[in-house]
Amino acid sequence: ELKKMAECYQKKKPSDLRGEIHLLIGEDDGFLVRLKDSDIEVEETGVDNTGDLGLVMSEETFDKLNSGKWNGMTAVGRSSMSEPAPLDFRLPEDTEMDEILQMMYHFLTHFFSKDYPTITELGRKHSRKVHGGNAVPIAYGDGIRSAYYTIQKGEQINEDELDPWNQVFTVIGGSGKALVDGEEIELKKNMSVHVPPNKEHIVKKEEGEDDLELLWIAYGEKA
């Protein structure tokens, strides 16, 4: 399956995206994925990370990626770096996160999908709980972060969180409330709410049985 993924990813990968990614699936199966200018190689290796980036997951997590239930960013998503997630990453000594972040974003978004172009299924069954709601990351890269969120009655996303980038929430289903810099807003389908940098922003669902569904986009410098 990894070779099928690699063949498909070759069509999506920017030519200047190069590096070696070590995949540890379960306790015993290690693979090295070499991203070259015009080729991608997959080699069976040991369990020790010898790449520029190590990705660690259970066989169950790989099955969810392989089936299309999750994308890689869904599996790795977490509210904070200290929080556990089904897919974890490891960096070699002397490697800073900033050095491999864009490679990791692109690889996790596209590699495990065997669709060309990449297709991301939305909805609660394809999501994981993060930041208080259930999320499916859509696109992450230089200057852009986006995700689908579904929020049930009694849930809210974000609390005491200030972000240094511009954000916009677009409601695609259901209803709820938002609190942005002290202003309360009634959310309804087909409306967008913009959040300036470094302002309080909370989205919550207090009543009603329908899920509040929205698309979140962070953009611009620092995103």
Q: Any idea where the domains of the chain sit in the sequence? A: 2-110, 124-219
**CA contacts within 13 A on the Cβ side of 158:** 20
The predicted pLDDT at position 199 comes to 97
The predicted pLDDT at position 94 comes to 86
Query: Regarding the domain with residue range 124-219, which homologous superfamily does it belong to in the CATH classification?
Result: Jelly Rolls (2.60.120.10)
Strand partners, 192: 170
User: What are the CA-CA distances from residue 113 to residues 11, 55, 93, 110 (Å)?
Assistant: 12, 16, 30, 6
Q: Which residue reads 């969810």 in tokens? A: 64
The predicted pLDDT at position 160 comes to 83
CATH architecture classification, 2-110: 2-Layer Sandwich (3.30)
Residue type, 32: L
User: 0.85 cut: is pTM over it?
Assistant: yes
Q: Which residues of the chain have pLDDT under 50?
A: none
The predicted pLDDT at position 159 comes to 84
Strand partners, 55: 23, 89
Whether the CB-CB separation of 121 and 74 falls below 8 Å is answered with no
The predicted pLDDT at position 81 comes to 82
Q: Which residue reads 């959310």 in tokens? A: 187
The predicted pLDDT at position 50 comes to 79
The radius of gyration of the chain from alpha carbons, rounded to an integer in Å, stands at: 18
